[in-house]
Structure 1
Amino acid sequence: MDIQGFVIAILPIALSPGASFTLALSNVAINGMKGAFKVLIGTGLGIILHGLLVGLGISNVLNKSQVVMNSLQIIGIAFLLWLGLKLVTSGMKLLHHKMEFTASDVSVKQAFLLNIFNAKAIVLYLTVVPIFAGSSLSSYLLLATTHVIIMALWILIFSLMFCFAKEKLKVNIISAIINIVGGGCLLTMSCHSALNYYYQ
């Protein structure tokens, strides 16, 4: 197992603003730091499950079925699209003062499902992780845990910074902007994924 090589390879992926990052900041805008923890727990469980499935060889079996992989990708795109629309709608309502600040945030289950159906996460754990993990299940779980720790630290740092900044600004406006921009990012990701799926 090459944990140092894995950390170097995973850093750009874990630190790039993706769906989990967007959802965490949106949750922080709505419910403070406890909102970020929901996304971290859901995403972390998803990453660990990917590591477990690849370590057991189950993901490799699923990858050989084009129908299964296509189904997972379509479900993932639809789920990402739904979350994006949910964030944009929530942001628009906050912006027009049509809802109280106690808007619903993304749950642990939703963050988990988003990660499980994320085609990029599946491909990452099928292609990149085996290079560094070797053949032991414990190695896959250790690398997945390392991935979770890096992702969690990064999201927590930004969430804390956002919490401090939010206190000095108008909460509804900041929350609305985060939700609209974040939802727009998720919608863009879902459209990009749909186009990639269509043209592959």
Structure 2
Amino acid sequence: MQGVAVLGFLVAVAPITATPGASLTLVVSRVATGGRRQGWWVILGTVTGLYVHATLAAVGLAALVLRSSQAFWVVKLVGAGYLVGLGIWLLWSAARRPTGPPPTVRARRLPWRVHHPYLQGLLGNVLNPKAAAVYLTLAPQFLEPGRPVLVPMLLLATAHAALHTCWLAGWTAVSGAAARLLRRANVRRLFDRLTGAILLGLGVRAAMT
């Protein structure tokens, strides 16, 4: 694969990457909760999701989902339901958040736990049909006909992952700089409500689009 093809793909996905969505919302929310490290967990989960979509598109599994209206709707509604559920959970957490200072000792969360930021980032990306569509409709335009697909597709995913990481890392740094303010009880409660409402809106929009 030529470098110009990779560059062209990056130019094509840049506006999609810069569009605010679940990944950006999760990064800002988790950094405000537990610092920059949690933001990097979300980034890692999101990048893993990109490789999942690239692999599925290369082997043709994701194409089957988009060709079958029933299968597409199942994936779409599951993803929308996840975002809605996550938004409701944040709104519920904001309502139950104590007014005192946050505890200084936090329990360790393993990556496979439901509320771990890595799993939230992964599911937020994997369950997004629009992310799958990038590798089914956009990425093939930058592949060479008649050649193996898997390795070039993963190369495009690597470039996409690098771009996505840089974008979300910037927001991680900005959110980390404002973390002290965001951890104040009243500010944190307001921020949880705002984040929950955004995720809830994204889920409803995904279901209705």
TM-score > 0.5, shorter chain as reference: yes
Q: 1:152 aligns with which of 162, 165, 174?
A: 165
Q: Closer, same or farther in 2 for the Cα pair 1:163/1:172, shift >3 Å? A: farther
Question: Structure 1 residue 63: deviation in Å?
Answer: 2.3
Report the 3-state secondary structure (helix = DSSP H, G, I; strand = E; otherwise coil) of the residue aligned with 1:17.
coil
Task: Give 1:123-162 correspondences, 5 Å limit.
Answer: 123-134=133-144, 136-162=149-175
* Structure 1: distance between partners of 2:202 and 2:155: 29
The more displaced of 138-147 and 22-31 is 138-147
* Distance in 1 of aligned mates of 2:116 and 2:196: 12
Give the aligned length.
Answer: 195
Note the aligned Cα RMSD (angstroms): 2.3
CA distance in 1, matches of 2:12, 2:120: 27
Q: Find the aligned partners of 2:86 and 2:116 in 1 and give their Cα distance.
A: 8
| C-alpha distance in structure 1 between counterparts of 2:183 and 2:47, whole Å | 31
Shift of residue 53, structure 1, vs aligned partner? 0.9
Give the corresponding residue for 1:97.
99
Question: What amino acid sits opposite 2:138 in the alignment?
Answer: V
Q: Higher mean Cα deviation, 109-118 or 42-51?
A: 109-118
Q: How does 1:3-14 map to 2 (within 5 A)?
A: 3-14=6-17
SS in structure 2 of the partner of residue 97 of structure 1 = coil
Give yes or no for the alignment of 1:182 onto 2:192: no
Distance 1:168 1:110, change over 3 A: closer
Q: Specify the SS of the correspondent of 1:156.
A: helix
TM-score, structure 2 length as denominator? 0.83
> Which of the residues 18, 22, 31 maps onto 2:21?
18
Give the partner amino acid of 2:163: I
Q: Distance in 2 between matches of 1:45 and 1:63?
A: 21
2:34 aligned partner:
31
Q: Which secondary structure does the structure 1 equivalent of 2:178 belong to?
A: helix
The aligned amino acid for 1:67 is Q
1-structure distance, mates of 2:27, 2:123: 15
Q: Which residue is 2:121 aligned to?
A: 111
Give the gaps of 5 or more residues in structure 2: 110-114
Whether contact under 8 Å (2:45, 2:119) holds in the other structure is yes
Rounded Cα–Cα distance in structure 2 between residues aligned with 1:116 and 1:154 = 19
- Note closer, same or farther for the CA distance 1:45–1:195 as it changes in structure 2 (3 Å cut): same
Contact 2:54–2:153 at 8 Å: present in 1 too? yes
Gaps of 5+ in 1: none
| Distance (Å, rounded) in 1 between the aligned partners of 2:95 and 2:9 | 40
TM-score by length of 1: 0.87
Residue in structure 2 matched with residue 83 of structure 1 by the alignment: 86
Deviation at 1:146, TM superposition (A): 1.4
Aligned pair in 2 of structure 1 residues 51, 170: CA closer, same or farther (>3 Å)? closer
